[in-house]
């Protein structure tokens, strides 16, 4: 369960007695700000056709971003109305999404996967995102032709588990931490789209002996 501000999120696969959504691909949202004596019905969002595997809330809990086990599409929803706000495409090939993170002001979203690429999408000004140049391939029209592509991306070691986040004290800066102990910091601009490496460190050698 992920909790942010007054809003909690429950995935279908949960433990410790947490109630489960019955439909695959759905997200159940409960507002815990009400009195414990008040019965609150959860909002259930049918987010994906496949199992939801990654999820994130923005800072005030008004928006939720989700990815499924297929890993090609990231969807953004209003947590109160359940309205789908944006559909973002990570790539064409299936991938395992490791992390999703909103910027502090909810103007951008970053996504990491086992493809070794960190994607940064515009949320507040979604017109800055790229549109697909291939809406119809071989006479087959994709159901995701409205999906938007990231205007900014950078690479990290492929297939390594990696999480990303925006820095609060450094504007337009993203940090990615990988399981090999590497630290990647990039400064980006969505308009015009650009990305520049700011720092790289290897703070952990996996071969080192460590006392637990």
pTM value? 0.80
Query: How many domains, the chain?
Result: 1
Query: Could you tell me the residue range of the domain that residue 92 belongs to?
Result: 2-202
| 209 domain residue, yes or no | no
| CATH at 32 | 2.130.10.10
Helix (H, G, I), strand (E, B) or coil at 128: helix
What pLDDT was estimated at residue 12? 39
| 183 domain residue, yes or no | yes
Which residues of the chain fall short of a pLDDT of 50? 1-20, 137, 139-141, 206-212
| 211 domain residue, yes or no | no
Closest C-alpha among 84, 114, 103, 112 to residue 189: 103
| 121 domain residue, yes or no | yes
Dihedrals φ, ψ of 82, to 5°? 70, 10
| 210 domain residue, yes or no | no
Dihedrals φ, ψ of 127, to 5°? -65, -15
- How do residues 54-107 score in pLDDT, each as one tens digit? 999 999 889 999 999 999 999 999 998 999 999 999 999 999 999 999 999 999
What pLDDT was estimated at residue 3? 33
| 208 domain residue, yes or no | no
| 212 domain residue, yes or no | no
């Amino acid at each position: 369960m992920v909790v942010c501000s007054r809003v909690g999120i429950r995935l279908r696969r949960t433990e410790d007695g947490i109630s489960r959504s019955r439909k695959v691909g759905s997200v159940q949202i409960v507002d815990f700000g009400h009195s414990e004596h008040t019965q609150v019905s959860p909002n259930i969002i049918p987010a994906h056709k496949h199992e939801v595997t990654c999820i994130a809330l923005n800072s005030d809990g008004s928006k939720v971003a989700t990815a499924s086990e297929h890993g090609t599409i990231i969807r953004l929803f209003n947590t109160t109305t359940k309205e789908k706000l944006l559909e973002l495409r990570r790539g064409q090939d299936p991938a395992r999404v490791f992390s999703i993170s909103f910027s502090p002001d909810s103007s951008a979203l970053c996504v990491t996967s086992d493809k070794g690429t960190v994607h940064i999408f515009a949320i507040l000004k979604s017109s800055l995102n790229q549109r697909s140049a291939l809406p119809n391939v071989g006479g087959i029209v994709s159901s995701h032709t409205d999906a938007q592509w990231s205007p900014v991306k950078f690479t990290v070691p492929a297939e390594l588990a990696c999480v990303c986040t925006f820095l609060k004290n450094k504007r337009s800066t993203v940090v990615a931490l990988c399981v090999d102990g590497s630290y990647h910091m990039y400064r980006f601009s969505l308009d015009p789209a650009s990305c520049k490496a700011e720092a790289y460190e290897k703070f952990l050698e996996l071969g080192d002996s460590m006392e637990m």
